[in-house]
Amino acid sequence: MKSLHFSMSSSFLYVALFLLLWAASAQADETFLDCLSLQSNDSSSISKVVFTQNNSSYSSVLNATVRNFRFTTPSTPKPLVIVTPLHASHIQATIYCSRKHGLQIRTRSGGHDFEGLSYVSEVPFVIVDMVNLRSVDIDVENKVAWVQSGAVLGELYYNIANKSNTLAFPAGLCPTVGIGGYLSGGGYGLLFRKYGLAIDNVIDAQLVDVNGRVLDRKSMGEDLFWAIRGGGGGSFGIVVAWKVQLVSVPSIVTVFTINKTLEQNATKLVHRWQSVAPKLPEEFYSGITLTRVNSSEDGKRTILASFHASFLGGIDELVPLMQERFPELGLVREDCIEMSWIESILSMGNLPNETLNILLDRTYQSPLLSPSFKSKSDYVRRPIPEIGFQGMWSRLFEEEGASASISFIAYGGIMDEIPSTATPFPHRAGNLYKIVYNAGWQEEENIISERYISWIRRLYSYMGSFVSKSPRQAYINYRDLDIGMNNEGNTSFAQASIWGRKYFTNNFDRLVRVKTNVDPQNFFRHEQSIPPFFY
Ligand SMILES: Cc1cc2nc3c(=O)[nH]c(=O)nc-3n(C[C@H](O)[C@H](O)[C@H](O)COP(=O)(O)OP(=O)(O)OC[C@H]3O[C@@H](n4cnc5c(N)ncnc54)[C@H](O)[C@@H]3O)c2cc1C
Ligand SMILES: *[C@@H]1O[C@H](CO)[C@@H](O)[C@H](O)[C@H]1NC(C)=O
Ligand SMILES: *[C@@H]1O[C@H](CO)[C@@H](O)[C@H](O)[C@H]1NC(C)=O
Ligand SMILES: *[C@@H]1O[C@H](CO)[C@@H](O)[C@H](O)[C@H]1NC(C)=O
Ligand SMILES: *[C@@H]1O[C@H](CO)[C@@H](O)[C@H](O)[C@H]1NC(C)=O
Ligand SMILES: *[C@@H]1O[C@H](CO)[C@@H](O)[C@H](O)[C@H]1NC(C)=O
Ligand SMILES: *[C@@H]1O[C@H](CO)[C@@H](O)[C@H](O)[C@H]1NC(C)=O
Ligand SMILES: *[C@@H]1O[C@H](CO)[C@@H](O)[C@H](O)[C@H]1NC(C)=O
Ligand SMILES: *[C@@H]1O[C@H](CO)[C@@H](O)[C@H](O)[C@H]1NC(C)=O
Ligand SMILES: *[C@@H]1O[C@H](CO)[C@@H](O)[C@H](O)[C@H]1NC(C)=O
Ligand SMILES: *[C@@H]1O[C@H](CO)[C@@H](O)[C@H](O)[C@H]1NC(C)=O
């Protein structure tokens, strides 16, 4: 835990130094880089982790965790400097010098932000890339772990699996998602109906605030600790590390996938699933992925509904349960595979399953995901009628629907019991399932991306009458800049509260209060960061 250790005395000392340097007016011609080197000391020279645009490694460092190739065009704005801190002191120095020189900071952990906000900004900016801060320390005995923000989910899973096959962490299926962004926005995955979201299992954190102070749960206070668990990344400071609660899983779990096309009654089954899945025991994770395919029978276009589930238990328990609750699906033993929990992460995530090493591959790009994409989310509170699905299918049959997908993820279980004010993430009781719409295309098609983007906007507009209303809710970790803007040209508070209420409903008000207390000058900001009052 050495890398995480900062005694309070040294952090106070640092603040004193910070203020001193702030007050002593620096030479007028001091550059941002001069400032950084002045801020570091011999044993932690920051110059080794600073990449300017002149540096031959600059593009590869920048590209390394760009997940959405929509944001790799020559016209995408690039950072002046990338800093890859090795210590919290490098983060402190970067915050201090960025403020002093009027630069914005974008913090990047796994780079999976749907709108690229961790590495793209319209104003001069610096990226703090957490790639070097990715230690994972598992304490099996106490069932807790400290994990640094720059680690990816796969690294956390790998380290847990290395020590125990009956411990797990309730997080997502994509192993390259960063801990920093994931925990900042909520984080759902295979275990969320039993153990809640990832943020429901965070018990401490280490954060560097706008004044360069290194804070833990105790010193930041419960309001700020509440806000960083789900209020969205990039608003309150830079989270260096998180202490998480590990959870128990059985040594054997079961997964299945059942594929049905329209010709195999997919529409009726999808309709039925809406009433069945949210009420399944909390040991289940249940989802449907809808895509357009060519039928293997006659090659004609159809819709494939892929029903997938994982279950914390064996086949003998699972099969009778499904036959009772959802006989129409026709599940039989042969559809099911028993495995360990960590193998279920590989299986449900469609990852190669020969070894666990894939979990450590930070650059793995699933062939199933389009290089460039635009996504949106919705929450469903009342079952959608069959006719509603017919309209979805006809949109998937349009040209731009070829590589698109629509996924449903069943809610219920413990999600119905955790109060919607427990964390900033408000989408709890009353939601049957979540929808994620995804329009995908090849990088070479970026030039015609508007076609795909307008397709998904039409689909979203069509869905309006079937989903949550007033506000129409959305998941912050499925960031969507369409649902309100708060860019440099427009810091209108009224406008921020449009997307703010969609992501956070009434929790938005508390987030604004916290922001006003901890960063009243709005230093940590981006197009959808929490604004302070009247900013
Ligand atoms: C392929 C794919 C699969 C996904 N699967 C799931 C899933 O199963 N479940 C789920 O809940 N979500 C899922 N997501 C969404 C994912 O949780 C979010 O995109 C998340 O924000 C990504 O975190 P990151 O660190 O990789 O992203 P980044 O792009 O690095 O960061 C996202 C945001 O958080 C901020 N941020 C990053 N690090 C820090 C930090 N240390 N301190 C403060 N702010 C920070 C960034 O500035 C940015 O605003 C998926 C996304 C993708 C692309
Ligand atoms: C230099 O930085 C390192 C890393 O943060 C820290 O451990 C050390 O105490 C610092 N030394 C001085 C003299 O400030
Ligand atoms: C690029 O930056 C890195 C990190 O600061 C440094 O180690 C390296 O020497 C630089 N390379 C060049 C060619 O300037
Ligand atoms: C990049 O290199 C050019 C020429 O070598 C130099 O003029 C410029 O100041 C350098 N920029 C930075 C940010 O180091
Ligand atoms: C970074 O990505 C862009 C777009 O894919 C590509 O053009 C460029 O060559 C990449 N640079 C490096 C160093 O990989
Ligand atoms: C745990 O990790 C160590 C070091 O990487 C490795 O040698 C060992 O085989 C792993 N053990 C298990 C059970 O995965
Ligand atoms: C279901 O369909 C998907 C997509 O075509 C395919 O990859 C998968 O193997 C199929 N699974 C089963 C169990 O048929
Ligand atoms: C579709 O459902 C109907 C009844 O709703 C049933 O008669 C028919 O056999 C089903 N078709 C298939 C392929 O399962
Ligand atoms: C489906 O068929 C069409 C035309 O028959 C073809 O162009 C397309 O590539 C096929 N798609 C897939 C995924 O096989
Ligand atoms: C691993 O993948 C292969 C090929 O996809 C599959 O046949 C096998 O059942 C998988 N094993 C597990 C444990 O999921
Ligand atoms: C800013 O927001 C207001 C209120 O929604 C809107 O009328 C105005 O057009 C926006 N301005 C810019 C520059 O986006």
How many whole angstroms separate alpha carbon 467 and alpha carbon 432? 10
| Residue 40 CB less than 6 A away from ligand 2 | no
Q: Whose CA is nearest to atom 3 of ligand 5?
A: 72
Instruction: Write out the two tokens for 479.
Output: 């960031």
**CB 423, CB 199: distance < 8 Å:** yes
| Residue 63 CB less than 6 A away from ligand 5 | yes
Atom number of ligand 3 nearest to Cα 54: 14
In the reported structure, the alpha carbon of residue 84 is separated from the centroid of ligand 3 by a whole-number distance in angstroms of 12
Predicted confidence (pLDDT) per residue in 391-435, tens digit:
999 999 999 999 999 999 999 999 999 999 999 999 999 999 999
Instruction: Write out the two tokens for 78.
Output: 């690039």
Q: What type of residue is 356? A: L
Pocket perturbation via mutation, ligand 7, pick of 257, 261, 303, 329 by most ligand atoms within 8 A of CB: 257
Atom number of ligand 3 nearest to Cα 47: 5
Among 44, 61, 217, 205, CA closest to 126: 61
Q: Whose CA is nearest to atom 11 of ligand 11?
A: 490
Q: What was the pLDDT predicted at 10? A: 45
Among 227, 180, 241, 238, CA closest to 425: 227
Helix (H, G, I), strand (E, B) or coil at 58: helix
Q: What domains are defined for the chain?
A: 8-132 (3.30.43.10), 136-248 (3.30.465.10), 253-338+370-476 (3.40.462.20)
The percent of residues above 90 in pLDDT, for the chain, comes to 86
Radius of gyration for the chain, computed over Cα atoms and rounded to the nearest angstrom: 23
Pocket perturbation via mutation, ligand 5, pick of 53, 55, 60, 63 by most ligand atoms within 8 A of CB: 63
How many whole angstroms separate alpha carbon 183 and alpha carbon 228? 8
Cis check: omega of the bond before 124, within 30 degrees of 0: no
In the reported structure, the alpha carbon of residue 335 is separated from the centroid of ligand 7 by a whole-number distance in angstroms of 11
Q: Whose CA is nearest to atom 3 of ligand 4?
A: 54
E strand or H helix that includes residue 496:
helix 493-504
Residue 433 appears among annotated catalytic residues: no
Give the pLDDT band of residue 532 (cuts 50, 70, 90): very high
Query: pTM of the predicted model, to two decimals?
Result: 0.92
Predicted confidence (pLDDT) per residue in 377-387, tens digit:
999 999 999 99
Give the pLDDT band of residue 473 (cuts 50, 70, 90): very high
Q: What was the pLDDT predicted at 258? A: 98
Q: What angle do CA 107, 110, 116 make, to 5 degrees?
A: 65
**350-359 b/e with 16+ CB inside 10 Å = b?**
ebeeeebebb
**Residue predicted with more confidence, 491 or 343:** 343
How many whole angstroms separate alpha carbon 383 and alpha carbon 466? 8
Give the pLDDT band of residue 490 (cuts 50, 70, 90): low
In the reported structure, the alpha carbon of residue 71 is separated from the centroid of ligand 1 by a whole-number distance in angstroms of 15
**CB 228, CB 107: distance < 8 Å:** no
**CB 233, CB 523: distance < 8 Å:** no
**80-93 b/e with 16+ CB inside 10 Å = b?**
ebbbbbbbbbbbbb
In the reported structure, the alpha carbon of residue 304 is separated from the centroid of ligand 7 by a whole-number distance in angstroms of 9
Give the mean pLDDT of 509-529.
Answer: 96
Q: What was the pLDDT predicted at 485? A: 58
In the reported structure, the alpha carbon of residue 250 is separated from the centroid of ligand 6 by a whole-number distance in angstroms of 21
Mean pLDDT rounded to a whole number for the chain: 92
Q: Whose CA is nearest to atom 1 of ligand 5?
A: 63
Among 439, 409, 441, 444, CA closest to 427: 409
Predicted confidence (pLDDT) per residue in 75-89, tens digit:
999 999 999 999 999
Measured from the alpha carbon of residue 339, the closest ligand is 10
Distance of CA 410 to the CA centre of its chain: 18
- Contacts of 23 by beta carbon, 8 Å cutoff, 6+ apart: none
Give the mean pLDDT of 40-64.
Answer: 89
- Contacts of 443 by beta carbon, 8 Å cutoff, 6+ apart: 69, 72, 371, 372
Continuous H helices in 24-75:
32-39, 58-63
Kindly tell me if the per-residue pLDDT of 73 is higher than 80.
yes
Q: What angle do CA 61, 65, 66 make, to 5 degrees?
A: 105
Instruction: Write out the two tokens for 392.
Output: 């979805």
Give the pLDDT band of residue 16 (cuts 50, 70, 90): very low
Kindly tell me if the per-residue pLDDT of 440 is higher than 90.
yes
Give the pLDDT band of residue 30 (cuts 50, 70, 90): confident
How many whole angstroms separate alpha carbon 160 and alpha carbon 113? 25
Q: What was the pLDDT predicted at 488? A: 47
Q: Whose CA is nearest to atom 12 of ligand 3?
A: 55
Catalytic residue among 14, 437, 452, 478: 478
**CB 189, CB 172: distance < 8 Å:** yes
Q: Give the chain's count of helices (H) and strands (E).
A: 16, 18
Q: What was the pLDDT predicted at 200? A: 98
Give the mean pLDDT of 102-131.
Answer: 97
**CB 335, CB 315: distance < 8 Å:** no
Q: What was the pLDDT predicted at 494? A: 79
Give the pLDDT band of residue 28 (cuts 50, 70, 90): low
Place of tokens 């006809």: 394
The percent of residues above 70 in pLDDT, for the chain, comes to 92
Q: How many residues does the chain have?
A: 535
Q: What was the pLDDT predicted at 367? A: 86
Among 245, 211, 231, 190, CA closest to 18: 211
Predicted confidence (pLDDT) per residue in 134-193, tens digit:
999 999 999 999 999 999 999 999 999 999 999 999 999 999 999 999 999 999 999 999
Predicted confidence (pLDDT) per residue in 233-290, tens digit:
999 999 999 999 999 999 999 999 999 999 999 999 999 999 999 999 999 999 999 9
Pocket perturbation via mutation, ligand 5, pick of 72, 119, 445 by most ligand atoms within 8 A of CB: 72
In the reported structure, the alpha carbon of residue 63 is separated from the centroid of ligand 5 by a whole-number distance in angstroms of 6
